[in-house]
Amino acid sequence: MNTVDLGLPVQVPSTALFTDQYEFTMLQAALKAGTADRRSVFEVFTRRLPEGRRYGVVAGTGRVLDAVENFRFDPDVLGFLREHNIVDEPTLHWLSSYRFSGDIWGYPEGEVYFPGSPILRVEGSFAECVLLETVILSILNHDSAIAAAASRMAAAAGGRRLIEMGARRTHELAAVAAARAAYVGGFNSTSDLAAGFRYAIPTVGTSAHAFTLLHDSERDAFRAQVDSLGRSTTLLVDTYDVAEAVRTAVELAGPELGAVRIDSGDLLLVAHRVRQQLDELGARDTKIVVTSDLDEYAIASLAAAPVDAYGVGTQLVTGSGHPTCSMVYKLVARARSADAQAPLEPVAKKSLGGKLSVGGRKWAARRVDADGVAEAEVLGVGAVPSGLADRQLLVELVKGGETVAREPLDVARGRHIAARAGLPMSAVQLSRGEPVIPTEYV
């Protein structure tokens, strides 16, 4: 199935009802009108980046491929549609054999994007493409928002390790997707075992304050943890008195103590004091991990602190203030008839209020300067200029209904690191600003 190639022990259920009802009513009307089989091109894009963001991050592509492969209408799903009179019997008959047989092109996972970028292009009959709108947008909007926040945090961390630990702050299934997106965006590990099980993301975790409070003394708690997990474990030192806890931790584990975790207080001040104390006690290799409602700004403020790793929860899984990317799924071209040879004609919505779209089946390329640094996102319809032919961004993901571009998650993660490094240096500034490069239409 969809994860066999990666050797992951999970099956993805049917995604057929991860839709809005109007997708089915449009299908029914198009079938009746004889327009459902017209070849169509839909594109996913965003008209603007979230306020203050300099670039976006494509994440969730692998999950989109899973969703498309598993978009199936079994008897129970068809029965629900029939019972609630969602569509008529001819439409139910059509749905019973639904299999996406078209093509999908898109920015590869981990790539960066900008306003107007055709992040995903879905081509096939109107009928088979229109049904995928909601499930595609729900995945890409969520995962890309998390990955963008993760990328900003990774840039602020400056190479220090990042732990995703937000599972308790969001829906249990969203938590798994968030951990995956955070890993694409630059995080190193997750506390969520379901994410580790499903996507082979490294998992970490030791103890909470409850474990210390369970025991008669902090010393008893630390001894129990060291006896169970070894001297290389991470001990939580801020339940009572931090200085006393650090002293006890080193007494019990010795200089081999793996790390101490600080979860409250003035993290900048406490981290300096703990580092000094650890060094004086001979635990120079013991790391310091900080948690406590961190975001990219808090991480950046700790750049001068002797911190080795950050644990981030709430702000990460909620997109650090921007939980969606406002991506849309729009018809940009369609054939005048159902004839397979009928040429595509550009179509576009004309609207007041900034909701315009640009018609035509687009290509995208990133122009770079003499130093190889990105200077513009260039979009167009028709022939690609020769100077941009080797800078095209869209890759083939699905061909004739078959996935052709599945890849390990580490590939997407590495791609993002490289893509971010290819942007102007101002891309990683946390100050508010416009997209770091402009979008140009040719």
- What pLDDT, on a 0 to 100 scale, did the predictor assign at position 2? 46
Locate all alpha helices (DSSP H) within 168-324, ordered by sequence.
Answer: 172-185, 193-199, 209-214, 218-229, 242-253, 267-280, 296-301, 314-317
| Strand 189-190, strand 161-164: pairing | parallel
Other Cβ atoms less than 10 A from the Cβ of 220: the count is 12
Pairing status of strand 402-403 against strand 287-290 = unpaired
DSSP 107-140: PPTT-EE-TT---EEEEEEHHHHHTTHHHHHHHH
Task: Give the residue carrying structure tokens 């890409």.
Answer: 140
- How many Cβ atoms from other residues are within 10 Å of residue 26's Cβ? 17
Distance CA 436, CA 442 (A): 19
pLDDT attached to residue 3: 47
Structure confidence at residue 11 (pLDDT): 55
Return phi, psi of residue 41, to 5°: -125, 120
Q: Looking at residue 425, what is its pLDDT?
A: 96
Contact assessment for residue 119 and residue 64, using Cβ atoms and an 8 Å cutoff: no
Question: Which among 319, 57, 311, 315 has a CA at the least distance from the CA of 160?
Answer: 311
User: Contact, 325 vs 145, CB < 8 A?
Assistant: yes
**What confidence tens digit (pLDDT) does each residue in 35-72 have?**
999 999 999 999 999 998 999 999 999 999 999 999 99
Neighbours of 269 (CB within 10 A): 10
Three-class DSSP category at 357: coil
Listed as ranges, residues in the chain with pLDDT below 50 are: 1-5, 7-10
What values do phi and psi take at 114, rounded to 5?
A: -140, 170
